[in-house]
Structure 1
Amino acid sequence: MSDVTFKGPCKGKTVFFNNGKLLAPVHAKQIKQDAWIHFKYIDNLVVTGHGTIDGQGSHSWSSNNFDMNRRLPANMAFNFVRKSRINGLRSLNSKSEHLNFFCVDHFNISHVNLTAPGDSPNTDGIKIGMSNNVKIRNSHIGTGDDCIAILSGNTNFDIRNITCGPGHGISVGSLGKHREEKNVENVRVRDTVFTGTSDGIRFKTWESSVTEITVSGFLYENIKMVDVRHPINIEQKYCPYPPCPKLGDSHVQIRNVTLKNIWGTSRSKVAVSLQCSKSFPCKDIRLIDINLIHNGSDGPATALCEYVYGSARGKMLPPSCLN
C-alpha cells in the first residue's frame, strides 16, 4: 500500500492489531503524506500486536537520494489522538522518524522496539510536540537520531525503563527556531540506559531565538551511561550544520532541572557540559550523585559551565563547576 489514514471521530474503542509484517513502499515519493500510517482525531485507540512495521528506509537514506530539505515520511503518526495507547509495536527502518505525535493527550507507549542503523539520517524513534500526559515505558530504541525528541509545547511526561542506543539520546529540542513555540514543562526520565549514543541527557536550543519560552520542571534519575560521547549536555548554541549566523543569544530559559544518580562512562573528556545562554542563564540546576568516568589518554572527566546557576551535592565526578 502507498499510505493510509485512519480518521475519526469513532464510537467506542478502536483497535489497530498487527501480527504480521507490513512493508512500506521502497520509494518515498509513493507516500503522499507525512507518515505512511496516519491516525487522526481518534479517542480510545489501541495499537498492538507482535508484528512489524518496516519502513524500508535504506533507499531514502543513501547519499544519492537523501535531501536535507525534503521531509521524508514517518512510519506512523498520531495527530489529535486522546486516551490511547501503543503496546508491543516493532518498527524498523523508517524513512524518517518511527513514531510522530502531535497534539496527543493521555497517551501511553509501552514495550515498543524501534530500530534503524546508527548512521540513518533523521530516524528519530519517538518525536512528540504540543502534547500532554504522555507515558513511555519499558521500550528499546536504537536509531540514527534522537531516541526520544521532546519538542515545543509538551507537558507532564513520564519516561521510564528505556534502553537507548545507537542514537542521539533523549533530547529536549531543538527549541527557539520558530515563533509559535510554547513552554516545555514537567518531564521525568528514570531508570534508563544509554549505550554508545552521541548524547545521553540533552537540551538543545538555537542561538538566535525568535521567541522567549521556558523549559522547566525536569527530573532525570537513575540513569546509566555506557560509552556515551556527551552524557550530560545543555547546548544553547545549537548549530547542526555550521557555519551558523551569530545574531544573538538563545531566549529559551532552562530552569528547575534535577540530575540525580547519573553514572557510567564518557567517551569524551567533558562529561558534563552546561553551556547556557548569556541573556537567559540556566537557573536552579541541581546535580546529585554524579559519577561519570573518562578513561581516555587525555585525562579524567571534567565539567564545563557557562552562564548556569545551581547546586551540587553527594558524590560528584567530575567535580562540579556550578556556582
Structure 2
Amino acid sequence: MTCITSTFKALCLSFLFVTAVASRPTNRPKVFNVQRYGAKADGKTDNAKAFTSIWNSACTRKGGNSKIYVPKGTFYLSGLEFVGPCVNQIEFVNDGTLLAPANPRDIKQDIWIKFRYINNLIISGAGTLDGQGKESWPLNDCHKNPNCPKLAMTMGFAFVNNSRINGITSLNSKMGHFNFFYVHHFNITNVTITAPGDSPNTDGLKFGFCSNINISNTHIGTGDDCIAILSGTTNMDISNVTCGPGHGISVGSLGKNKEEKDVNGLTVRDIVFNGTSDGIRIKTWESSASKILVSNFVYENIQMINVGNPINIDQKYCPHPPCEKKIVAIRDIIPPPLRTVFNDVYIAYELMDTDLHQIMRSNQGLSEEHCQRYIRQLPPYPRQSITDKFPNVYPLAIDLIEKMLTFDPRRRVTVLDALAHPYLNSLHAISDEPECTIPFNFDFEQHALSEEQMKELIYREALAFNPEYQPAIA
C-alpha cells in the first residue's frame, strides 16, 4: 500500500511538472513559413491572399511573438495591406524576392505593400522587394497628362511605432521606395535602395509627420531624393549613408498646404554624396500657404563627389509661376564645411601654423560659426611648405610671406620689419618715409551735439554732395 501511494505521488508530481513546462510562455516566436501556408515561389501565382491569411494568423496569435518567414524564391504579389494592432510582436523576415506586377494598372492601391497601425514591427532579411518599375517610368507624366495611371510606391508605413527595418533591398520602384506617415521611434539600418538615375519620382525614403527616426549604414541610389523630409517631421538622425545617383537629402518642398507643421531637429553626419544633382537641399514654396518654421539642422562630415549643387537652399520654390511671396522661415541651419564652399579656410589652414585650433578656440572675434565648426572638427594638420607649393617663386619672397602668414598677431611680422626685409629692402628707403611731427588729433570730433544739430549737419553734408537740391533763395 505504501509503495502504491508513493508511486501515485510521483506520477502526480511528474504530471504537474509537465503541465507547468507546457503552459509556461516561451520566448521563441512561432514561425509562419509562407510556403507551408500555401504561398508558391514560381514568380507567377498571386500570393496576396496567402500572405494576408498568414498575417492575420500571426497578428492575432496569443501566447507569444510571431515570425513570418519568406524563404528564397520569387513570390509574385499583386498588393498587400497588413493591418494591426497585433496581439504581440511580429517579425517579417524576407530572404526571397517579392515581385510586384510589371503593369502598374495591376496594383489597385497607392502603395504596393502597406503596414498600418502596428507597434513593435521588425522587418529584416537578405531578400529583395522588386518593384518592376521599368514599364511604369515612361508613364510618369501626370504633370502634363491628366489620364496618367496612378503609380504605386513599393512599401509604406502609417501609424507604425517602435519598429525597425534591417537588411532589406528595394529594387526599381515604380514611384518612391519607402513611405513613412505618422511613424514614431523607427530605426532603418543596412538597407539598400536601387533604381536608375533617370527613373522619375523614385524617392528612396520619404517621411511626413514622423519623429525620432534613425537612419544608418544605408546605401541609396535612385532617380529622385535619396531621403525626402516633409512637413511635421522632427528629431531625425541620418548617419553613414551613401547617396547617389539621386537628388540628395532634401527637406521639402514645404509651405504648399495650409495644414503643414514645423520641421526641426535634423542631424546629418558621415554622408557621401556621389554623382547626385544636389547634396543638401531645403526647398520651400515662395507662395507659402502655412506659417511654419524650419530650424535646428546640423550637417557634419559630408563628402561631395561630382555633385551639381552641394548646398541648395531654395526659399523661392515656384514650379508654376507667378507665386505670391510668403516665405517659410528658416533658422539655425548649420551647413557642412565643404571644400568648395570654404576654400579660403582650407588654404589658410594648410599654410598657417599648427596652433590654429587653439587660436580659433580663444579668439572670440572669429564668430563665423560654420568656419569655427569646421576648424574644430579637423585633425591636427602639419604646416605645409610654401616653397613646395610655389617652387618657382623667389626664395626671399617666400620667406617674407611665411613671416606674414602667421595667424597669431603676436608672432606675425610688423609693418616696419616687413619693410626692412631683404625682399623689400631694395625697393624701400626708410628716409623716404614721411614723418608725422605733430600727432594727429581728433578732438574736433569730440564736441557734444544735440539731435537737432546732428540732423542739421547731416542735411548740410547731403546738400553739399547734391547741390542740385539746394533750396532756392528768395
Matching residue within 191, 204, 210 for 1:131: 210
* 2:200 and 2:224 in contact (8 A); partners too: yes
Structure-to-structure mapping, 1:174-323, within 5 angstroms: 174-240=253-319, 244-263=320-339, 312-314=370-372
* 2:337 and 2:371 in contact (8 A); partners too: no
How many residues of Structure 1 are paired with residues of Structure 2 in the alignment? 273
Separation in 1, partners of 2:198, 2:345:
30
Separation in 2, partners of 1:186, 1:66:
33
Separation in 2, partners of 1:144, 1:252:
27
Separation in 2, partners of 1:17, 1:33:
23
Cα-to-partner distance string for 1:48-82 (whole Å, 9 max, x where unaligned):
000100000010102xx333255421110000000
DSSP 3-state at the match of 1:218: strand
What's the TM-score once normalised by structure 2's chain length?
0.55
Map of 1:122 onto structure 2: 201
Map of 1:296 onto structure 2: none
Cα-to-partner distance string for 1:264-301 (whole Å, 9 max, x where unaligned):
xxxxxxx66xxxxxxxxxxxxxx899769xxxxxxxxx
- 1:32 to 1:218, Cα distance in 2 relative to 1, 3 A: same
Matching residue within 7, 11, 20 for 2:87: 11
Instruction: For 1:251, give the aligned amino acid.
Output: I
Structure (1/2) with the larger helix percentage: 2
DSSP 3-state at the match of 1:118: coil
Cα-to-partner distance string for 1:229-287 (whole Å, 9 max, x where unaligned):
000010111234xxx22232243111011123334xxxxxxx66xxxxxxxxxxxxxx8
Question: Is structure 2 residue 49 aligned with structure 1 residue 49?
Answer: no
Question: Is structure 2 residue 185 aligned with structure 1 residue 106?
Answer: yes
Question: Is structure 2 residue 141 aligned with structure 1 residue 67?
Answer: yes
Cα-to-partner distance string for 1:60-109 (whole Å, 9 max, x where unaligned):
102xx333255421110000000000000100000000000000000000
- 1:236 to 1:24, Cα distance in 2 relative to 1, 3 A: same
Map of 2:51 onto structure 1: none
Percent identity at matched positions?
Answer: 57
Q: Which has the larger radius of gyration?
A: 2
- 1:95 to 1:131, Cα distance in 2 relative to 1, 3 A: same
Separation in 2, partners of 1:256, 1:167:
26
* 2:97 and 2:129 in contact (8 A); partners too: yes
* 1:28 and 1:73 in contact (8 A); partners too: yes
* 2:335 and 2:370 in contact (8 A); partners too: no
- 1:288 to 1:78, Cα distance in 2 relative to 1, 3 A: farther
Q: How far off is 1:313 after superposition?
A: 2.5
Separation in 1, partners of 2:343, 2:83:
46
What's the TM-score once normalised by structure 1's chain length?
0.80
Task: Specify every segment of 5 or more residues in structure 1 that has no aligned partner in the other structure, as ranges.
Answer: 264-270, 273-286, 293-309, 317-323
Question: Is structure 2 residue 36 aligned with structure 1 residue 36?
Answer: no
More relative contact order, 1 or 2 (CA 8 Å, 6+ apart): 1
Cα-to-partner distance string for 1:210-229 (whole Å, 9 max, x where unaligned):
11100001000000000100
Map of 1:88 onto structure 2: 167
- 1:76 to 1:148, Cα distance in 2 relative to 1, 3 A: same
Q: How far off is 1:16 after superposition?
A: 1.1
